[in-house]
């Protein structure tokens, strides 16, 4: 369903004095198909009208803003936002809008009949700006009236390729410091949509140029000018931005246009064609991109320098995971997403550490990798690839890139000799029977070691498992009493 295909139930609503405003009108003239019904209505007495409409549509109307009189009616496949129309004056409503392309209005009954072009009110030239795909402010105070509009501008550019004009870009730089006056929930909603957009690298550059990025994610700003030579070619801040550019390319469903990037992508194409891998990357799209952007925010605080000038960042993964969790919690990002981001950041070095230099990873190392990561294994491997490209640059890495792709393929192709789905050889009760141990952490340690030995093929049956349990119990007892 799109904004040009409203639910049939809308025809049952009282339409006298009700105006369709904002994005629904814009999308009709722009020919944009958002894939979701989303409409803004303006009406005098919005509270009473919204609740009556909610009863008709069998969906409650809920007030969603402390600053503005707006009620939202959530439908199974979209939503209706109902705005209070001040003094029943549609022109006054248009003057308080953000961008000219959103400052157009059509009476609801005409909108539902498709009679839009002849009845539209367009006081600020929004239709001309639509033809030019241009974002232009209705007034110079529009961003100060609602600072979240700065993020909305970036999101519209990222999702729909609308281009802010010079005056809007200048106003965003001027007013960037006001962004945190807007509610964290509203910031989070816009930021997540930006992160998920296909034009994310472009959007990040706009956020950085305007000064918004440093204010929304101040931990990123700490990395400006933090040198990490000789391994990295860029400072911590620009390395993370570059890594986002690469993760966007490496997860693309089609080859990038740039020749070098396309050659890099093609080495991963066999893996990307595996349904489980592609599904995992799609499912982890948001946490993977957030983790990519924030994966090194722990570096500035952990930086040390050797006598020869080499830099080290011991513990930056663990610290970065904690910092990312705090920031995303403040931004009201869903807790599941935060946990996923934490996991990826904490382990982002791990794909490069599962084997000794020049040697393939062992079964034991691969078992521990998959045990620790679970369904995060695929996105973590892609994070590792993008991180490596951002570290060395494609020119330096391209001659060795086939080896990187093969390394990831080996990690993801590994399967345990005895899948855990078949059940443990020995459960905790059986271990206590075999060893005489009382319930406690030692039983858990032995169980984990038996599971590992079964997964990598070191033991083949229950008798082997009992023998291993007995030996491990003896060794663990000795170590605890030494």
Token code pair at residue 47? 């509270």
The pLDDT score that the predictor gives to residue 481 is 65
Rounded CA-CA distance 156/290 in Å is 19
pLDDT the model gives residue 34: 63
Query: At a CB cut-off of 8 Å and minimum separation 6, what does 347 contact?
Result: 317, 372, 373, 376, 380
Q: What is the mean pLDDT of residues 224-242?
A: 94
Q: What confidence score (pLDDT) does residue 4 get? A: 42
Position with higher pLDDT, 426 vs 212 = 212
Tell me the pLDDT band of 231, cut-offs 50, 70 and 90. Answer: confident
pLDDT tens digits for range 37-83: 789 999 999 999 999 999 998 999 999 877 778 999 998 878 999 99
| For range 379-384, the mean pLDDT | 98
Q: Average pLDDT of 468-474?
A: 87
* Neighbour-count burial for 346-363, b at 16+ CB within 10 Å, e otherwise: bbbebbeebbeeeeebee
**Which is more confident, 187 or 415?**
187
Question: φ, ψ for residue 197 (rounded to 5)?
Answer: -75, 155
> Could you give the maximum distance between any two Cα atoms of the chain, in Å?
89
Domains 1-132 and 139-216 share a fold: no
Whether residue 230 has a cis bond before it, omega within 30° of 0: yes
Task: Quote the CA–CA distance of 88 and 72 in Å, as a whole number.
Answer: 20
Domain boundaries, the chain: 1-132, 139-216, 231-413, 420-481
Domain 139-216 has CATH 1.10.645.10: no
Whole-model pTM? 0.88
Percent of the chain past pLDDT 90, that is, above it, reads 71
Q: CATH class for domain 1-132? A: alpha beta
Q: What is the pLDDT of residue 359?
A: 81
Is pLDDT at 5 greater than 70 in this prediction? no
Would you place residue 95 in the very low, low, confident or very high pLDDT band (cuts 50, 70, 90)?
Answer: very high
The model's pLDDT over 252-283, given as tens digits with 9 standing for 90+, comes to 988 888 888 899 999 999 999 999 999 999 99
pLDDT band at 474; cut points 50, 70, 90: confident
Render pLDDT for 121-173 as a digit per residue (tens, 0 to 9).
Answer: 999 999 999 999 999 999 999 999 999 999 999 999 999 999 999 999 999 99
Q: What is the 3-state secondary structure of 176-213?
A: HHHHHHCCHHHHHHHHHHHHHCCCHHHHHHHHHHHCHH
Phi and psi at residue 331, to the nearest 5°: -85, 5
Q: What pLDDT is recorded for position 356?
A: 76
Residues paired with residue 39 on neighbouring β-strands, in sequence order:
80
Number of other CB atoms surrounding residue 15 within 10 Å: 18
Cα radius of gyration (the chain): 28
Token duo for residue 27: 């999308």
The average confidence (pLDDT) of the chain is 91
pLDDT at 3 (0 to 100): 47
């Amino acid at each position: 369903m799109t904004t040009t295909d409203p639910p049939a139930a809308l025809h049952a609503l009282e339409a006298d004095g009700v105006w369709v405003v904002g994005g629904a009108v814009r999308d009709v003239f722009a020919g944009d198909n958002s894939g979701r019904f989303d409409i803004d209505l303006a009406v005098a007495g919005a509270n009473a009208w919204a609740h009556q409409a909610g009863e008709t549509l069998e969906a409650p109307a809920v007030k969603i803003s402390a600053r503005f009189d707006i009620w939202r009616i959530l439908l199974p496949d979209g939503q209706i936002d109902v705005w209070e129309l001040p003094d029943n004056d549609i022109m006054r409503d248009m003057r308080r809008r953000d961008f000219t392309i959103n400052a157009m209005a059509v009476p609801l009954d005409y909108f539902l009949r498709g009679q839009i072009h002849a009845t539209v009110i367009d006081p600020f030239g929004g239709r001309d700006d639509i033809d030019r795909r241009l974002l232009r402010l209705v007034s110079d105070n529009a961003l100060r009236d609602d600072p979240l509009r700065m993020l909305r501008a970036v999101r519209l550019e990222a999702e729909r390729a609308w281009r802010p004009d010079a005056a809007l870009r200048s106003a965003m730089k001027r007013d960037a410091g006001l962004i945190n006056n807007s509610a964290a929930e509203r910031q989070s909603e816009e930021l997540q949509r930006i992160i998920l957009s296909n034009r994310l690298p472009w959007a990040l550059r706009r956020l950085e140029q305007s000064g918004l990025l440093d204010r929304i994610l101040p931990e990123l700003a700490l990395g400006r000018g933090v040198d990490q030579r000789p391994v990295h070619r860029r400072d911590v801040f620009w390395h993370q931005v570059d890594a986002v550019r690469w993760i966007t390319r490496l997860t693309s469903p089609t080859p990038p246009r740039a020749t070098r990037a396309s050659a890099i992508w093609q080495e991963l194409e066999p893996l990307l064609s595996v349904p489980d891998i592609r599904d995992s990357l799609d499912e982890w799209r948001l946490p993977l991109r957030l983790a990519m952007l924030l994966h090194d925010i722990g570096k500035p605080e952990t930086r040390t320098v050797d006598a020869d000038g080499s830099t080290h960042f011991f513990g930056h993964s663990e610290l970065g995971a904690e910092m990312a969790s705090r920031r995303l919690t403040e931004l009201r990002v869903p807790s599941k997403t935060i946990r996923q981001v934490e996991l990826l950041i904490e382990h982002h070095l791990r794909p490069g550490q599962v084997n000794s230099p020049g040697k393939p990873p062992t079964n034991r190392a691969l078992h521990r990798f998959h045990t620790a990561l679970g369904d995060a294994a695929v996105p973590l491997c892609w994070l590792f690839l993008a991180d490596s490209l951002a570290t060395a640059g494609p020119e330096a890495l391209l001659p060795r890139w086939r080896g990187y792709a093969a390394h990831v393929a080996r990690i993801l192709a590994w399967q345990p000799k005895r899948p855990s789905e078949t059940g443990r050889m020995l459960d905790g009760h059986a271990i206590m029977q075999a060893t005489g141990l009382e319930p406690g952490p030692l039983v858990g340690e032995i169980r984990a070691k038996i599971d590992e030995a079964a997964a990598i093929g070191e033991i083949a049956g229950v008798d082997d498992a009992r023998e291993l349990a007995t030996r491990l119990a003896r060794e663990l007892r000795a170590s605890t009493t030494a």
